[in-house]
Structure 1
Amino acid sequence: MTVLPVLAFSASDRPEAQTALARLTARYGQVDEARADVIVALGGDGLMLETLHRNLERRTPVYGMNRGSVGFLLNDYVEDDLPKRVAQAVATVIHPLQMDAWTEDGRVHSGLAINEVSLLRQTRQSAKLRIEVDGRVRMEELSCDGCLLATPAGSTAYNLSAHGPIIPLDANVLALTPISAFRPRRWRGALVPHKSKVAFEVLEPEKRPVSATADGFEVRRVTRVEIRERRDVALTMLFDAGRSFEERVLAEQFAA
């Protein structure tokens, strides 16, 4: 006999998400997230990330249903037999990136990124970055709009839009992807082992200020950014059987 999970519902501000929230809580009830076995997130990929971040301490599994636009990290919206669907869902465990960003005043600001850590120029002038991997300089100077380091879970988001590779979850690599590289013009990025420590040194930070963002957490006028995977933090997303995250990643690589 399948034990049905206790569900808490969370929704974005979109009208369709709020409507779904009202219908599902009326049908299945509502509990506080602290008491739930699973959180059901109703919205888009942004809400899924927000829900995972909000539960970093509790690490409650999250089952998303698409009431947004893209919904790559979400399941299809179906109201019937929801507790049973959630109980039978396939778990996908992801590990976020730790960002430590130093600013011009010498302070360090830290954040976690489930999708990616991105560096972006703040003015009309291009950013100039030096890239290190495990303490070794791999690129002396990258002139660009920015650069990002993406997790497999985030490889289909901003990374893909920047022409980075899609990465299966079990590949044990991270995507290092330039954003509008000017010099070297033909550099398309690299795949680095997931255990690597990647660092960006901002060259000419006063003349060419750069911001660093870990998902939605932004730090401006950074001078150095260090990034590493947090294997000690395990977050769980749930997907319907036959629609696993691995299957979605594979299908995306053959999409027209």
Structure 2
Amino acid sequence: MIDLTIAPDDLRIAFACADTDEARSARLRLAHRYGNSPFDEADVIVALGGDGFLLETLHRAIRQDPFSPKPVYGMNRGSVGFLLNTFREEDLPQRIAQAQRVTLHPLRMDATRVNGETVEALGINEVSLLRETRQAAKLKISIDGVVRLEELICDGVLVATPAGSTAYNLSAHGPIVPLGAGILPLTPISAFRPRRWRGALLPHRARITIDILENVKRPVSAVADSTEVREVIRVEIAEQRKVALTLLFDPELNLEERILKEQFTP
């Protein structure tokens, strides 16, 4: 969290940029204008790129300090920029000091592979299971230890965070979830059987277990943001409340308002 007693001009900013000419050029200009603190000494991280790079920066902040990651203020030097502020070089410390804070909790994925290995990863947007071959996946879904769906034949399934509900989840026809709703959408990807199942809305404290049936014939991979684990036989997903990420937004670009507005976009 940014110390509110620090004057805007005294903020120590670390600039991170995507691997594009536009983002690198912006980083050079901003660093020259405001200085560029080392990542571990900064009060705030400014991410220059698109939504994908912002997610990378948030993961980097978690790795640097898992239980008190540095706040991140993103500026769009990419394409979509749903989670980013408008790029502008002027008055950056003042914008950061006046920014609204949004707290995000990622999903924790525990994926068990065929060989018994368990891989842990965090998903800020979503955790998704995807078929690896031409064969549809066959999955069993349990919520808090109770089997809710004995068999789902599909291309895959995903669990999204509210912040990630406008990303892959929305493309898979899942619902957009307001940030403060306390809900996680569970959304099928091209469900074949049961054909009419459109997913579920779960309490954010739910523990989701997905078992892969016929895993040899129908191999499945699990993905938490950019971390992919192949040939899984079981995936457990739960919100990681111990990790609290802080995203900073200009007041006129409030994330809650963006998510609400997205529900009325044709």
Q: What is the alpha-carbon distance in structure 1 between the residues aligned to residue 122 and residue 155 of structure 2?
A: 22
Output one character per residue of 1:9-65: Cα deviation in whole Å (capped at 9) or x when no partner.
000012111111111111111110111111000000111110010011150000000
User: Which string of whole-angstrom CA distances, capped at 9 and with x for unpartnered residues, describes residues 171-214 of structure 1?
Assistant: 00001000011111111111000000001000000000000011
Structure 1 counterpart of 2:36? 30
Match of 2:243? 233
Give the Cα separation in 1 of the matches to 2:128 and 2:6. Answer: 42
Unaligned runs of 5+ residues in structure 1 are none
The structure 1 segments of at least 4 consecutive aligned residues displaced by more than 2 Å after TM superposition are none
Spell out the pairing of 1:97-116 with structure 2 (5 A cutoff): 97-116=107-126
Distance 2:242 2:124 in 1: 13
Pairs within 5 Å for 1:39-188: 39-56=45-62, 57=65, 58-188=68-198
User: Paired residue for 1:14?
Assistant: 20
Q: 1:203 aligns with which of 197, 210, 213?
A: 213
Q: Distance in 2 between matches of 1:159 and 1:225?
A: 18
Q: For 1:123, give the aligned amino acid.
A: T
1:242 Cα shift?
2.2
Work out which of the residue numbers 225, 238, 260 in structure 2 matches 1:250.
Answer: 260
Q: Does 1:219 align with 2:229?
A: yes
CA distance in 2, matches of 1:77, 1:136: 47
Match of 1:193 in 2: 203
Distance in 2 between residues matched to 1:246 and 1:192, nearest whole Å: 20
What TM-score, normalized to structure 1? 0.98
Q: For the residues of structure 2 that align with 1:2 and 1:102, how far apart are their CA atoms? A: 45
Q: Displacement of 1:2 after TM fit?
A: 6.9
CA–CA separation in structure 2 for the residues paired with 1:2 and 1:39: 15
- How many residues are aligned here? 256
> Separation in 1 of the partners of 2:30 and 2:116?
49
State the Cα deviation string for residues 126-158 of structure 1 (Å, max 9, x = none): 000000000001101000000000000110111
- Could you tell me the TM-score, scaled by structure 2's length? 0.95
Say yes or no: does 1:3 pair with 2:13.
no
Paired residue type of 2:12: V
* Coordinate RMSD, CA, aligned: 1.0
Q: Distance in 1 between matches of 2:105 and 2:6?
A: 28
Identity fraction in percent: 62
| d(CA) in 1 for partners of 2:121, 2:203 | 21
Which has the larger helix fraction?
2
Aligned-partner Cα distance in 1 for 2:225–2:19:
19
